[in-house]
Structure formats: C-alpha cells, structure tokens
Amino acid sequence: MLQVNYIRENREKVLERLSVRRFKQVELVDEIIQLDDERRQTQTSLDNLSAIANAAAKQIGELMRNGKKEEADSIKAETTANKDKIKQLSEQLSAAELKLQHLLVQLPNLPHELVKTGNTAEENEIIYVHGEPAQIHEGALPHWELTAKYDIIDFELGTKITGAGFPVYKGKGARLQRALINFFLDHATAQGYREVQVPHLVNEASCFGTGQLPDKEGQMYHSTVDNLYLIPTAEVPVTNLYRDVILKEEELPVKNCAYTPCFRREAGSYGAHVRGLNRLHQFDKVELVQIAHPEQSYQVLEGMSVYVQSLLKELGLHYRVLRLCGGDMGFPSAMTYDMEVWSAAQQRWLEVSSVSNFETYQSNRLKLRFKGTSGKTQLAHTLNGSALALPRIVASIIENYQTPEGIRIPQALVKYTGFDLID
C-alpha cells in the first residue's frame, strides 16, 4: 500500500509511474489527496477542541478546589456543546480514515524506473537467454502423454478424487517431486536461507498484509465457516511472520525459505495452453522470502534472480529471463523477473519462477519496520521468489529429457531420486 505522504509530495511522479502500468483509475490519486486534506482539517479541529476541553477541565478542577462551585458549574455548561462537537468530529475522522484506507488499497504499487510501459506479456522485456533448446528425438511426446505412458502422473484419477487440476503423482513421478523439493531446499539453506514450516491456511489479516486481499479474493480457496484462506503461495504465511515486527538494522537481510503446497482457483483458465501440468489448482513450490534494507533491496533482487537461474542451469534447462512490463506485473510489485523454460515437446516457453521486489508496498500494510542506529524506525523492503514451482519444472524435465528408452533424470537430481531413468 502506498503511503499518503508520498502520494501528496510526489503527485506527478505517482501519476507518471501508474501510467507505466496502464492503470486506468488515476482519478483515485486526487481523491486520496483531497480526502487526506479533509482528514487533516478534521484532525486539526478535533485537536483544537480537545485542547480547549482539557484546559477547561483543568480550570474546573482548580475552581472546585478553591470552593468556587458556581463558577465551575458555569464552565461545565459551556463545555457541553464542545463535548458533542468533539464526538461528532471523532466520528467524522474515523469515517474519513476508513474511506482513505479503502481508496489506498485500490492503488497498485509504483513500477521501478527500469520497468517499461506495457499491458500484456508480449510487451515484457527479454533480458537474458541461457543455453539452446533440447534436441529431442522424432516422435517426442508432450508431458501429459509421457506421464500416462510411464504411469507416473494420473490426471484422470485426480479428477475422480477432487476435480480437474489436482493430479495424482505415482511411483517414480512422486519420487521425482520429492527429489526436486529436497534439491531446492538443500540449495536454499546452503545459500543462507532459514527453512521454516508454516500453516497452509491463513486469516484475512495475513492476506491483506501481502496484498492478496482485496485484490485476489476470486483466485483463492476460502474456508467460509472459519473465514480462512488456503495459501496461494508460501509468500503469504512466511512474510506475515514479521507482521507488526520491528527488526534491528543489523538483522537485515532476513532470509527464509519454505516448502508448501499451493492452492489457486485459476478461474477462467481453459484451453490447450493449460493442459496437463501447465496450470493446476494444487501444486508444490519452494518459496524464498527476504526482508531487506531499502538501500540494498535491488541488489538483493538481482541476487535472488541469479540464484534461481543457478538452479535452472544445474538442471540443464534452456531458459530465458524477462523483466515484466508495468501492466503485466502483480498488483503489489515494483519490479518482477520471470524465468521461463523452453518446452521442446510443446514448442513454447513455460513460466517456472517469478522474483519480485515489493519495496514498502507490503511492509506498509504489515507495519514491518526496522530500527537504525539513529533510533528511528522505517519501513523495510520485502521480496520473494519461486525457487522453484514444481509443475512446469517437472513438465520441462519430462519433455526435454525424454529419449526412446525412457526419461533421463538430470544428473544433479540422481542422488535425490535414487534412479537415473524413468522407463
């Protein structure tokens, strides 16, 4: 959530950066400034009346101590009207603050200066390409046919149990999943991330803190009886570990990683491009979350991007890195890198990771601050990234490593799987 003072002091810049997102409700900026003016005026009037009331109370007390009850009663009568006005102004102030909050949460984060103007995935900026497409044999199959051929993932069985988008992993398919999870966690902890296990259900305050509410209600599974949400990503519970926390400057950056299942309704997702593992309602992911000093957060972002790329290199996958344009970024993000792996069998790029810097957008909601050596507190920057989401990584491995004899396992995973071929 953007800070009101920043919007007031940088109106033109806010409007310019929102235009990079092709954000259409720019009138909200002036509405926020006008409402904040009204709120400030109400606050000033309330403070003045409260000061008068406090002075009168002291005067009444002094008169009563000196036995001047009639004079004290006279002043009491005069302050009755002030008390009613104070109550009215307090109610007006509360209403203005609620309305201001309602408007502020409708504004997305401001894109970083490097983020280009755009609205669609086609306008994203390709900044790096690694490797060459895998050379697969003639007659190679897409992963949804390979998984059936080798009986390692059963989409129909998952549909019977739950519905479409909830596959069942079997035998070497399940072991490959577990191998990837352990591979990603081991590498993360070697990079200084602390592994945490977190709840898979979160409350409204947690969803608000990281920006899922009120933006993405329709994309989350909601347990209405208890008013809890199934997590769409470990970002939500892990970042919320630090809600209402004041860190010490020397503790930064804070680095956590977590493996969790993730649940997304993916409403409106249909067609061949979401077939098989390409888009699921439940999937596994290892998430990285960092809390950084504002002066270092973009160095941290670059480091997280390089780290995720190192995993893809170790798995021997052909990938590219995109810097998302303003309109294709998530609502809370100031800059996002997407990593996409080339699927040789599908002849298309598959997104396998997003790494984002949210600057103070989440921390302002979370009241996540740090205290410097001066003793002053300020908002920290939050970042996260997938390292990695499993479905499309599994799809890429299965498709790019297929041979007439079976599916080879990347060398880096063999010590985790215990086998080097699915046949």
Determine whether the annotation assigns residue 278 to a binding site.
no
Closest among 298, 267, 294, 299 to 281, alpha carbons compared: 267
CA dihedral 34, 36, 38, 39 (to 10 degrees): 170
Closest among 255, 404, 275, 240 to 348, alpha carbons compared: 275
Q: How many residues does the chain have?
A: 423
Determine whether the annotation assigns residue 384 to a binding site.
yes
Angle at CA of residue 288, ends 197 and 147, nearest 5°: 85
How many C-beta neighbours within 10 Å does residue 163 have? 9
Q: Is the preceding omega at residue 294 within 30 degrees of 0, hence cis?
A: no
**How far is the CA of 181 from the CAs of 5, 285, 286, in angstroms?**
43, 8, 7
Between strands 194-195 and 254-263, the pairing is parallel
Determine whether the annotation assigns residue 354 to a binding site.
yes
Determine whether the annotation assigns residue 204 to a binding site.
no
Q: What are the contacts of 338-342 at 24+ separation with CB within 8 A?
A: 338/124, 339/305, 339/308, 339/309, 339/312, 341/312, 341/317, 341/392, 341/393, 341/396, 342/133, 342/134, 342/317, 342/318, 342/396, 342/400
Determine whether the annotation assigns residue 287 to a binding site.
yes
How many C-beta neighbours within 10 Å does residue 269 have? 14
Residue 305, token pair as written in the block: 């991007």
Between strands 153-154 and 194-195, the pairing is unpaired
Determine whether the annotation assigns residue 289 to a binding site.
no
DSSP per position, 349-409: EEEEEEEEE-TTHHHHHHT-EEE-TTS-EEEPEEEEEEEEEHHHHHHHHHHHTEETTEEEP
C-alpha 238/C-alpha 261 separation (Å) is 13
Determine whether the annotation assigns residue 266 to a binding site.
yes
Determine whether the annotation assigns residue 39 to a binding site.
no
Determine whether the annotation assigns residue 264 to a binding site.
yes
Determine whether the annotation assigns residue 249 to a binding site.
no
Q: Which residues are annotated as a binding site for L-serine?
A: 233, 264, 287, 384
Q: Which residues are annotated as a binding site for ATP?
A: 264-266, 351-354
Q: Which residues are annotated as a binding site?
A: 233, 264-266, 287, 351-354, 384
